[in-house]
Structure 1
Amino acid sequence: MREPMIKIENVSLKFNVDRNRANTLKEYVVRFLKRDLKYEEFWALRGISFEVEQGDVIGIIGHNGAGKSTLLKVISGIMKPTKGSVKLGGNIVPMLELGSGFDFELSGRENIYLNGAILGYSEEFLKSKYEEIVEFSELGTFIESPIRTYSSGMLARLAFSIACVVEPEILIVDEILSVGDADFQEKSRNKMMELMTGGTTVFFVSHDMDQIKEMCNKVVWIEHGVMQEIGTTEDVCKHYTRIK
């Protein structure tokens, strides 16, 4: 029996939220020394379990604050769950926070090699893909400029181009397709569809239900950190829309 590409078992994540109303740093330090600090437990995720097969495109839906982005961060290894485990069967590329893994003082060209190295790719491999990345990003001569001079759309194009041209086995996408101009959004959508048909496993968060229905074959619905349902895109979106 083939192992799932991703296996999420009883994942829960707890934060201790500071409920003190210290007006100054001094007041906070005094309370800390007196052990008078008060915290409240907040469970961002509770007991989430499901499996994903290779080539699945999983939409993550839920209202604002439901825990969608937190779940993606746990899957990608950015956050460690308080309880439970995440098992991965392939290399993973997270596109979660725009510009994460970039050095804003370096040029776009330098950041291709920096970001690619962080993702685990060799310099030789990145050199072989460099022209393809630049061409897809449509940054032209701006590739030699420091990325602190880039607009949010330019950053999105660079991040998406690096992630998709290197063809990851698992791709994590959080609203990236809503950034940039309409032409690049369409180009990104087409590239995503190409990756999906090529066997890449994708997690995709979007508030655009039309995008979810177009691109995903399964959907996970979570609210208040608890999984409500997992199933076919048609069924889960129908139930979600009904109570939205």
Structure 2
Amino acid sequence: MGGAMIEAENLGIRFVRNRRRNLRLREMFIHRGNRQPAAGVFWPLRGVSFSVAPGDTVGIIGRNGTGKSTLLRLIAGVLIPDEGRIRVGGAVAPLLELSAGFSNDLTGRENVHLVGSLHGLSASFLRRHFDEIIEFSGEQIAKAIDTPVRHYSSGMKVRLGFSVIAQLQHPVLLMDEVTAVGDADFRKKCYDTIDRLIAEGRTVMLVSHNENDLTRFCSRGLYFDGGRLRVDGTIREALDAYHDVVRP
């Protein structure tokens, strides 16, 4: 990888329309790769190559359905490429499906420990930082922390998930529309946290439809269209290419 923190080489992944197939790790074990090709295959990403240096802040830009979130999931190891390869030089903090890993039958308190442990946080760390996590997530969650999360709204789950994942010390931070959740006070907490993580030298890749967020946090942009990487340049160059396509 040389000095790169993230490196994609001729990366491609194929989906079957209306259903993902042979992509998640668990399916590799269940089906042992024996499924046969089916009609309706399409490639949300193909022939994608780029490298990201440690400390880079990169915005991923494109219309809906152009593979932005899929790319983050490939980097996180949630999805497996069908072509090429993706290499990551450090642990990944995935601010993606922020309520993923929660058990609806467990309380918020129990889920903090469950999700934290799934991402490598020790029990002692979670005990020391528990009050900080709950304070960050907000008063509504603090009042319901010993209630099963099946009674939480989707927004409450996302806020609690962000509060846990933001504790990770991993060098790579992947964010998918995370600043769109919560009220104004919680979004400010998110912004302050992201600013801090960037200042610490984390490598950041951000998917957002909010141009202000992209220009605030990112110096570099990757613009995708039709499953291909069309522009790899400054965030302004990537946004201009996007606007050229979507402008009436």
Fold shared by both chains (TM-score > 0.5): yes
C-alpha distance in structure 1 between counterparts of 2:18 and 2:113, whole Å: 39
Q: 2:203 aligned with 1:201, yes or no?
A: yes
Quote the offset at 1:16 in angstroms: 3.3
| Residue in structure 2 matched with residue 174 of structure 1 by the alignment | 176
Amino acid at match of 2:202: T
Structure 1, residues 191-222: CA drift from partner, whole Å, max 9, x if none? 10111011111111111111111111111111
CA contact (8 A) 1:18 1:39 kept: no
CA gap of 1:214–1:39, structure 2 versus 1, over 3 A, is: same
What SS is found at the alignment partner of 1:171?
Answer: strand
Q: Which residue of 2 aligns with 1:52?
A: 52
**Is 2:229 the counterpart of 1:227?**
yes
Structure 1's consecutive aligned runs of 4 or more residues displaced over 6 angstroms after TM superposition are: none
What are the superposed Cα offsets for residues 150-198 of structure 1, whole Å, 9 maximum, x if unpaired?
1122112111111112333111111111011111111101110111011
TM-score (norm 1): 0.87
CA root-mean-square deviation: 1.9
Structure-2 residue corresponding to 1:42: 42
When the two structures are aligned, how many residues end up with a matched partner?
Answer: 227
Aligned to 2:23: none
Residue range with higher mean Cα deviation, 44-53 or 94-103: 94-103
Q: Distance in 1 between matches of 2:122 and 2:219?
A: 33
Does 2:143 match 1:121?
no
Greater gyration radius: 1
SS of the counterpart of 1:66?
coil
2:195 is the alignment partner of 1:187: no
Q: Distance in 2 between matches of 1:99 and 1:93?
A: 14
Aligned residue for 1:86? 86
What is the rounded CA distance, in whole Å, between the counterparts of 2:243 and 2:38 in structure 1? 39
Are residues 1:142 and 2:151 paired?
no
Q: Displacement, 1:18?
A: 7.3
Per-residue CA deviation, residues 77-119 of structure 1 (Å, 9 max, x unaligned), is 1110001111111111212224111111111111111111111
Aligned to 1:5: 5
Q: Which amino acid in structure 2 is aligned with residue 74 of structure 1?
A: L
Q: What is the CA–CA distance in structure 1 between the aligned matches of 2:91 and 2:72, rounded to whole Å?
A: 15
| Amino acid aligned to 1:63 | R
Letter in 2 for 1:126: L
Deviation at 1:141, TM superposition (A): 2.6
Letter in 2 for 1:223: D
1: CA distance between counterparts of 2:2 and 2:98?
A: 35
Sequence identity percentage: 40
User: Which structure 2 segments of 5+ residues have no match?
Assistant: 20-36
Counterpart amino acid of residue 239 in structure 1:
A
Q: 1:237 to 1:17 in 2, by over 3 A?
A: closer
